[in-house]
Amino acid sequence: MYTSPTTHLADKYLRSKKLKFLENIASHNPQSDYAELVEDEYGNQRQRIKTIPATSSNSGSYGYSRIPFVNSIKSMPIRYKTAFLSSLGFLISFGIRCNMGVSVVAMTHNETEKLSNGTVRLIKLAQFDWTPGIIGIVDSSFFWGYLVTQVPGGYLAAKFPANHVFGFALGISSFLNLFIPFAAKIHYGFVMILRILQGLVEGVTYPAAHGIWRWWAPPLERSTLATISFTGSYAGAVLGIPLSAHGIWRWWAPPLERSTLATISFTGSYAGAVLGIPLSGILTEYLNWQIAFYFYGIIGIIWSIYWWHFSYERPAIHPKISESERVYIEESIGESSSIANKTWVKPPWRSFFTSMPVWAIIVANFCRSWSFYLLINSQAEYFREALDYNVGKDPFLAALPHLTMSCIVPFAGKLADYLRANYLSTTIVRKIMNCGGFGMEAVFLLLVAYAKNPRLAIGALTIAVGFSGFAISGFNVNHLDIAPRYASILMGISNGVGTLAGMLCPVAVEFLTKQGKRDEWAHVFLIASLIHFGGVIFYGMFASGEKQIWAEPPPQPPSTTNNDTSPWALNETNKRNDNDRFPSYGSTVTDNTGGIYQSNDPFSGMANGIYTNIPGKYNEQTTTIPLTVENPMYRNYR
């Protein structure tokens, strides 16, 4: 068809004005469209619209600050921001767990003062007349609920967005924490109910964290990111005692970063232990026992609100992630096309319980949990009975072992990822980190068993717990290696067995230390040492860092038959085939006769203002929307 030069120039002018319009809109919108020139099979040039997500930290949308620290946070990759924020969540979680253990002393004991003449003056009567049996039941009731939801928590994190499960659990637990002081004034039974409910909701946190890192942790950053996250729980215990007295990473962890990201995340677990005990003690000592519950409740609710605003299930739907980071995560995981399909697949339960690598993780979790809960529950009692030393005089010294672990865990995660990237296989790295950490912990627990002065005991405990931090980059990240799709479920199973260790350990300690003698406590730490030596042998024999054959469902054969032979169905099939071969970024246009067709020209529907700009997808429903509307692919998928 003949086109006059005047018409051609006018058309060229209009198109240039439209491109300037697009550029102007794009400069003011964090997520917008840009036009590119393409040629069709006849050599004709057309503009094609492509919608791109907003870039993240290094884009101009964040603005520049004169404070270097603020700029470093803004420029941090989204996956690391997620790791540190989840670490803070674990810190709060373990601080909540420390509340009751520390505050119950002030709640149930008289406050006295020893005078210079040797007499004791009563300052304040105990507010609650709870027997030691009641105190034990109230303190352990948390684990009744916690044990129940380990495996269901993994199921929920695999079936629903793991970031939602994680944030919901901590938000509800923090909210319940606010009501414990009121419940205690009514009856201890109501406190038990609240603690059981807290255990039920917090039981899903570890499985959900692994669900997060399935999608967010690159393979060479798994150890680092996961351990940073979990370390917060140990720091929470460190602060919580003085103050009061897996899901996410399946999407976000590239395989070579899983150790890094996972350790960052899980560092919150250990930091929670480090901070929670002293912090709860300080609040109780200088204010009152109720403040510790209110403090962690309010902080937890604030964190939960921000987490829901910031976190997304997968990199593909995060509106502020840079394109380079998203591509890096998805391509390094190598599962972006398969695991992005949200179709629910029944977990291979039989394969779980017949797999020796899974059992290696379970046994390792039991061993680590035994020593962790031994120190959390009985450390102060050990120093008082065996060494005649009151750790209450220096609570931060008592928290030193967990503080050391909080520092070593992220370092070990970075080391594990470095070894995987440059020298060793995943299996060898996991075995070195886990067996080396457990082995050295077992050796120094033997020193604790036969120590005769507090300084030697604290020093040996600090070194022992510090070495166990290396094991976190072994068994605690191993779920993501052997079965990333089911990492949250496997974490629920192994952490459930670990919770059993937390329930059995106090019973064993009470049975072995009836007289409170030093020799009896020596047996306690001797058993803990032998348990870790057993963990070294079992994990060294059966652990693996390779993806298991049952870790992915068998591929479904494509359907080769189509019973619908109507013209519309055949046309749809042809369009889908064409779209697979030649992705189109055009518009769905309604012509004057009411017909609907797909055009590669993004401006073909602008005459009547009816078009739909859907990148890479055909849309048969014509909708009137602004050209710079938020990408529908990213909307409502928080």
The pLDDT tens digits of the residues spanning 592-630 come to 455 444 444 444 444 444 434 434 333 344 333 333 333
C-alpha–C-alpha distance, residues 125 and 395, integer Å: 24
User: Is pLDDT of 344 > 60?
Assistant: no
Task: Give yes or no for a contact between 231 and 274, defined as CB atoms under 8 angstroms apart.
Answer: no
Mean pLDDT, range 201-216, rounded to an integer:
70
Whole-angstrom distance, CA of residue 638 vs CA of residue 635: 8
Q: Is the pLDDT of residue 16 over 80?
A: no
Overall size of the chain counted in residues: 638
pLDDT for 241 beyond 80: no
Instruction: Give residue 58's pLDDT.
Output: 42
Q: Per-residue pLDDT for 37 more than 50? A: no
The upper half-sphere exposure of residue 374, i.e. CA atoms within 13 Å in the direction of its Cβ, equals 30
- What is the structure's pLDDT at 434? 94
pLDDT of residue 435: 95
Measure the CA–CA gap between 85 and 163, rounded to whole angstroms: 11
- Res 247 pLDDT > 60: no
Q: Which of 7-21, 209-223, 246-260 has the lowest mean pLDDT?
A: 7-21
The arithmetic mean of pLDDT across residues 561-578, rounded, is 47
CB atoms within 10 A of CB 552: 17
What are the pLDDT digits (tens) for 107-134? 776 666 666 666 666 667 767 788 767 7
Percent of the chain with pLDDT over 90: 12
Q: Read off the tokens for 1.
A: 């068809």
Task: Pick 167 or 583 by higher pLDDT.
Answer: 167
- Give mean pLDDT, residues 78-104: 78
Name the 3-class secondary structure at 298.
helix
Q: Is residue 532 over pLDDT 70?
A: yes
Q: What letter would DSSP give residue 4?
A: -
Give the span between the Cα atoms of 223 and 230, in whole angstroms: 11
What is residue 361's predicted lDDT score, i.e. its pLDDT? 94
How large is the average pLDDT for residues 465-489?
A: 85
pLDDT-derived band at 275 (thresholds 50, 70, 90) equals low
Please name the residue ranges forming H helices in 311-355. Answer: 323-333, 349-354
Per domain, the residue ranges of the chain are 5-74, 78-108+132-331+354-542, 567-634
pLDDT of residue 526: 94
**pLDDT at position 316:** 78
For the ranges 166-170, 387-391, 494-498, 573-577, the lowest mean pLDDT is seen at 573-577
* The pLDDT of residue 53 is above 70: no
Pairing relation of β-strands 596-599 and 587-590? antiparallel
Q: Taking 50 as the threshold, does the pLDDT of residue 236 lie above it? A: no
Report CA torsion sign: 411, 417, 421, 423. positive
Amino acid making up residue 536: V
Least confident of 141-155, 187-201, 272-286, 307-321: 272-286
Using pLDDT thresholds of 50, 70 and 90, give the confidence band for residue 175: very high
CATH code, 78-108+132-331+354-542: 1.20.1250.20
Q: Which residue, 36, 96, 393, 417, is CA-closest to 239?
A: 96
CB neighbours of residue 201 within 10 Å: 22
Q: Which amino acid is at 26?
A: A
| Average confidence score pLDDT of the chain | 69
pLDDT at position 307 over 80: yes
**397 or 4: whose pLDDT is higher?**
397
Q: Are 544 and 427 in contact (CB under 8 A)?
A: yes
Alpha-helical runs (H) found in 29-149? 68-74, 78-108, 132-148
| Range among 218-232, 297-311, 401-415, 423-437 with highest mean pLDDT value | 423-437
163 and 217 in contact (C-beta within 8 Å)? no
Cα–Cα separations (whole angstroms), residue 293 to 109, 131, 220, 232: 18, 22, 39, 18
pLDDT band at 464 (very low <50, low <70, confident <90, very high): very high
Between 197 and 325, the higher pLDDT residue: 197
- φ, ψ of residue 487 in degrees (nearest 5): -60, -40
Lowest mean pLDDT among 244-258, 321-335, 411-425, 594-608: 594-608
Could you list the beta-strand ranges (E) of 324-469: none
CB burial of 93-126 (b: ≥16 within 10 Å; e: otherwise) equals bbbbbbbbbbbbbbbbeeeeeeeeeeeeeeeeee
| pLDDT confidence band for 94 (50 / 70 / 90) | confident
When pLDDT is averaged across residues 555-562 and rounded to a whole number, the result is 54
Higher-confidence position of 114 and 50: 114
Please determine, for residue 248, whether its predicted confidence score (pLDDT) is greater than 70. Answer: no
Please check whether residue 340 is in contact with residue 314, taking contact to mean a CB–CB distance below 8 angstroms: yes
Asked if the model's pLDDT at residue 490 lies above 90, the reply is no
Interval 75-103 mean pLDDT: 77
Q: Is the pLDDT of residue 446 over 50?
A: yes
Specify the range with the lowest mean pLDDT, choosing from 62-71, 174-183, 479-488, 611-620: 611-620
* Band of pLDDT at residue 383, cut at 50, 70 and 90: confident
Which two tokens mark 33? Answer: 């469209």
CA distances from 536 to 415, 461, 481 (A): 20, 19, 19
Residue 638's pLDDT is 38
Helix (H) or strand (E) holding 492: helix 487-512
pLDDT band at 533 (very low <50, low <70, confident <90, very high): very high
Q: Are 216 and 82 in contact (CB under 8 A)?
A: yes
In this model, does residue 194 exceed pLDDT 50? Answer: yes
Query: 27: pLDDT confidence band, cut at 50, 70 and 90?
Result: very low
Check residue 586 and give its pLDDT: 42
Q: With pLDDT > 70 as the criterion, what percentage of the chain qualifies?
A: 55
79 neighbors 221 (Cβ within 8 angstroms):
yes
Q: Looking at residues 397-420, what average pLDDT do you find? A: 81
Segment 452-468 shows an average pLDDT of 88
77: CB partners within 8 A, 6+ apart = 56, 57, 322, 325
Phi, psi (deg, nearest 5) at residue 123: -95, -45
431-440 mean pLDDT: 95
pLDDT of residue 614: 38
Position 143 scores a pLDDT of: 76
Q: Is 280 helix (H, G, I), strand (E, B) or coil?
A: helix
- Measured on CA atoms in the order 559, 565, 566, 572, is the torsion positive or negative? positive
CA distance 367 to 11: 74
3-17, 186-200, 528-542, 545-559: segment of lowest average pLDDT: 3-17
